[in-house]
Chain A
């Protein structure tokens, strides 16, 4: 059975009213930062997976006859190159879909001059991309091979930066939480010093007194942490709905998955553990000043 009895009336302190709210806000912010980081990580993985084993041949707009010649030569070159699994001209409708994020749905005119794209599946172990690029560019001006490295490099750098910032935010939130718990613990220690000294004189070990603070701050943090997580979950659900409405295929979807949600569920427990340990160390340090 868990002993919740306390000799110190800590539940009457101002910290008992304020701390759960502070912890709730901190867990809320940490959950959003963590969810953002997990989403970006997921999006990067999906983009990488989607682009792995794919290259694109781009043929700039040209008069019809020249365009057909370039398409034919490019497809022939691709189909005779070892390591190319499949090469397929992208239909006009698919090209229109790709342009929709910039031009808006239904705004891609049928006669708009757009580059032709050949979607190429490759076996990365068997293909010589440098040689293929040289042969493709040899077909004519405006024909080139895109292995997406420029695009993916930029995305990865951007994504990693966002993840780094989110991690820094979580760490800073953690430091702020620790500082607040230290402050609240010291305030509680000073308020109840007479009782603490009395317990000390009756032969209480430092751990006996520290445990009362630990229980108090663990419970307050858990209460605040769960509230913050519930709020964060509601916010993430709302953001997910809004992101769906925006129809932005380039935006990373707020897909957390089971592991992501598990990480978020751990936040109140981590907050409670951090508060418990902070309170313990603060009290034990203060008690060492007593004889």
Chain B
């Protein structure tokens, strides 16, 4: 994969994520973690090679067929990417509204999920008035509200305190237990050691060793 006419940022990557798996993606800065995540959440397509998701070859899939696949993927961005002009409730409701869900259902599911992540009293709050941890929970709620098949998280515990980081990891484990495939990009080796799952290590745009599991 390359950006425009730049150098290849990922090459010789061969990997498979079984449905319901939980994987870490790690490596030094500039190793290609974010680029690999962008391939996973279909923000980019490979300049060469093959990417198959949900039994579809997304490398050559017509552009108009990609939105339907993207709706099966939840993304937790490192910087949250909440929409500042929308309330917590409206931010979380976005994937459902995009999918054309009835407004009554949207409201019910959104309130329920925000309550589950402990934000029942912050439904109408704008992102600017939320703490870092609250923003993180809104971002995660938005990523999972449409019950994605694949959840991709970029440094989800990077900007929260240790206690909240642990709670978020328990949340991801919970989601994984109900069948969601999870990929977490992280630098945090302590996190990897504490919650043991296969690790994909990237360096210089390629895997440095085969995925390992500490199970």
Q: Is A251 an interface residue (CB 8 A)?
A: no
> In the complex where A201-B70, A291-B63 touch, is A208 in contact with B98 (Cβ < 8 A)?
yes
User: Would you call A199 and B42 a contact (CB within 8 A)?
Assistant: no
Check A198–B66 contact: CB distance below 8 A. no
Q: Complex formed: what's the CA distance from A127 to B42 in Å?
A: 84
Given A9-B85, A194-B81: A201 touches B41 (CB 8 Å cut-off): yes
- CB <8 Å contact, B94 and A7: yes
Quick one: given A203-B68, A203-B71, A204-B67, are A291 and B98 in contact (CB under 8 Å)?
A: no
The CA of A211 and the CA of B40, in the complex, are separated in Å by: 28
Distance from B168 Cβ to chain A, minimum over Cβ atoms (Å) = 20
Residues 199 to 214 of chain B near chain A (Cβ within 8 Å): none
Residues of B within 8 A of A288 (CB): 63
Q: Is the CB of A204 within 8 A of B98?
A: yes
Q: How far is the CA of A208 from the CA of B83 in the complex (A)?
A: 16
Task: Decide: A203 and B85 in contact? CB cutoff 8 A.
Answer: no
Contact B71 A202 (CB under 8 A): yes
Most buried by B among A7, A12, A208, A288: A7
Which residues on A sit within 8 Å (CB–CB) of B94?
7, 199, 202
Whether B98 contacts A202 by the Cβ 8 Å rule is yes
B63 pairs with A202, CB closer than 8 A: no
Residues of B participating in the A interface, judged by any CB pair closer than 8 Å? 41-45, 63-64, 66-71, 73, 75, 81, 83-86, 90, 94-95, 97-99
Q: Which residue of A lies closest to B58 (CB)?
A: A291
Which residues does chain B contribute within 8 Å of A195, judged by CB atoms? 83
Residues of A bordering B, CB below 8 Å = 7, 9, 12, 194-195, 198-205, 208, 288, 291
How many angstroms between the C-alpha atoms of A199 and B83 in the bound complex? 10
Q: Are A203 and B83 in contact (CB under 8 A)?
A: no
6 new A-B contacts, CB < 8 A, other than A7-B94, A205-B64, are A9-B85, A194-B81, A201-B41, A201-B43, A201-B75, A288-B63
**B-chain residues with CB within 8 Å of residue A201 when the two chains form the complex:** 41-43, 70, 75
Give the CA-CA distance A204 to B43 in the complex, in Å.
13
Across the interface, name the chain A residue whose C-beta is closest to B142: A202
Chain B residues within 8 Å of A202, by CB: 70-71, 75, 94-95, 98
Chain B CB count within 10 A is highest, among A194, A202, A204, A288, for: A202
Listed by A's residue number, 15 A-B pairs whose Cβ atoms lie within 8 Å are: A7-B83, A195-B83, A198-B83, A199-B94, A199-B98, A201-B75, A202-B70, A202-B71, A202-B94, A202-B95, A202-B98, A203-B69, A205-B64, A291-B42, A291-B44
In the complex, chain A residues whose CB is within 8 Å of the CB of B41: 201
Residue of B nearest to A194 (CB): B81
**B81, closest chain A residue (CB):** A198
| Cβ of B83 to closest chain A Cβ, rounded Å | 5
Minimum distance in angstroms from A276 CB to a CB of chain B: 21
Chain B residues with CB under 8 Å of A199's CB are: 94, 98
CB-based nearest A residue for B85: A9
| Distance between B193 CB and nearest chain A CB, rounded to angstroms | 31
CB distance from B163 to the nearest CB of A (A): 28
Q: In whole Å, how far is A79's beta carbon from the nearest beta carbon of chain B?
A: 82
Contacts of A12 in B (CB 8 A): 85
Q: What separation, in Å, do the CA atoms of A204 and B69 have in the docked complex?
A: 11
CB < 8 Å: which of B43, B84, B86 contacts A291?
A: B43
Considering only CB atoms, which chain B residue lies closest to A9 in the complex? B85
Given the contacts A7-B86, A195-B83, A198-B83, A203 and B99 also touching, CB distance less than 8 Å: yes
Q: Which residues of B contact A7 (CB under 8 A)?
A: 83, 86, 90, 94, 97
In the complex, how many angstroms separate the beta carbon of A244 from the nearest chain B beta carbon? 53
Which residues of the partner chain A approach B81 to less than 8 Å between Cβ atoms? 194, 198
Q: Which residues of B contact A291 (CB under 8 A)?
A: 42-45, 63, 66
C-alpha gap A9/B86 in the complex (Å)? 9
